[in-house]
Amino acid sequence: MKNKQSSVLLIYTGGTIGMMQDAHTNELRPFDFKTLTQQIPELNKFDIGLSSIAFKKPIDSSNMHPVVWIEIAKTIKENYHKFDGFVILHGSDTMSFTASALSFMLENLSKPVVLTGSQLPIGIIRTDGKENLITAIEIAGAKEKGKPLVSEVCIYFEYKLYRGNRTFKYNSSHFDAFRSPNYQPLAEAGVNIQYNKSALLKPGVKPLKVHLELDNDIIVLKLFPGISKKITSSIINTKGVKAIILETFGAGNCTTQEWFTAELKKAIDRGVIILNITQCLEGTVIQGMYETSSHLKKLGVVGGGDLTFEAAVTKLMFLLGQKMSPAQIKKSLQTNLRGELTH
């Protein structure tokens, strides 16, 4: 790594990007990461020193779990001072959840953590993986005045760099798989990489703090017209639930039927956190805008603003893991911690 301008650690967790098609069986299987520069010789031309760590058992990201997020966060913690930036290779299916979780777990980041993946494996002629990986590495190694240019958890996919906790997977078959409707891209890669500097988070001034406690005692209640009282009550009263994400209509609206309001009230009185996010992919929850959300506000349901579903799930896991009081959790849910919320 001598004489290189910057150094980047690649962390391979699994997903299509790290797979090769077996010449005989046509099966997709993870390739040996030590041979990465053989797969992508362009990587040798970089003025960036590359090292890699591959998880022992690479996973399809549909099997992602908070335990793996903790493993990734620990890997970054252990290597934080040795590298200028980090690239996480990850399946695209749950990439937005991982990016959101890591954004909360890594407090005071002053270096880039860029997640990327691909829709087609490296090794397939039309792969999108090579471009995604090469540019993700370039972004993770980019510096300005000797300091990393980006200092947050991002997703790079198909020529765009996004704030990770603003994204969701939008398309299962196009290369352009992610969207971030409530926040502008952080950079776009064309002939040059154009950074949207005013959109980037400021680097943390305090030392990195890595939070490794997550609590997944959460349930999601997605509303639809005609939702049944019996099923809804059993979901809300599930034993051990500490938080419920209520996926509502439009600007945070829901039924005003008495039984529904009474169930929510009972849960809130027991100390359960109820977070209201919208089923719309763009826009925000404004409790009290309509009569159909005023009752939620009065009950103490927390308005989730423009949090994505992915950010809502992981922010709740993170806050519940901090062993805060329900009042502190409610306050933090409405506070912009890592650029996940528009105020």
Question: Which residues have a catalytic role annotated?
Answer: 16
Q: Is residue 108 a contact point for ligand ASP (CB under 6 A)?
A: no
CB 193 to ligand ASP: min, Å? 23
Euclidean distance between CA atoms 336 and 343, whole angstroms: 7
Structure tokens of 82? 């040795």
| DSSP-derived 3-state class of residue 127 | coil
Per CB under 6 A, the list member of 30, 66, 85, 117 interacting with ligand ASP is: 117
Stretch that binds ligand ASP, among 89-97, 188-196, 201-209, 214-222 (CB under 6 A): 89-97
Comparison of 127 and 293: residue with beta carbon closer to ligand ASP: 127
CB 28 to ligand ASP: min, Å? 10
- Applying CB under 6 A, what is the total number of residues that bind ligand ASP? 11
CB 62 to ligand ASP: min, Å? 6
Burial category of 198 from C-beta neighbours within 10 Å (exposed 0-12, middle 13-18, buried 19 and up): exposed
Per CB under 6 A, the list member of 9, 15, 329, 332 interacting with ligand ASP is: 15
Euclidean distance between CA atoms 267 and 253, whole angstroms: 19
Euclidean distance between CA atoms 156 and 163, whole angstroms: 9
Query: How is residue 255 annotated by DSSP?
Result: -
Of 43-62, binders to ligand ASP (CB under 6 A) are: 60-62
Q: Is residue 92 a contact point for ligand ASP (CB under 6 A)?
A: yes
CB 199 to ligand ASP: min, Å? 26
Comparison of 19 and 320: residue with beta carbon closer to ligand ASP: 19
Q: Is residue 314 a contact point for ligand ASP (CB under 6 A)?
A: no
Helices (H), the chain: 36-39, 66-79, 95-105, 129-141, 229-236, 258-269, 291-299, 309-321, 326-333
Phi-psi region of 232 (alpha: psi -120 to 50; beta: other; left: phi over 0): alpha
Comparison of 128 and 340: residue with beta carbon closer to ligand ASP: 128
Euclidean distance between CA atoms 233 and 319, whole angstroms: 25
Asked whether the beta carbons of 168 and 96 are under 8 A apart, the reply is yes
Per CB under 6 A, the list member of 8, 36, 93, 189 interacting with ligand ASP is: 93
CB 61 to ligand ASP: min, Å? 3
Give the residue closest to ligand ASP by C-beta.
Answer: 91
Report the 10 Å Cβ neighbour count for 306. Answer: 20
State the residues that interact with ligand ASP by CB under 6 A: 14-16, 60-62, 91-93, 117, 119
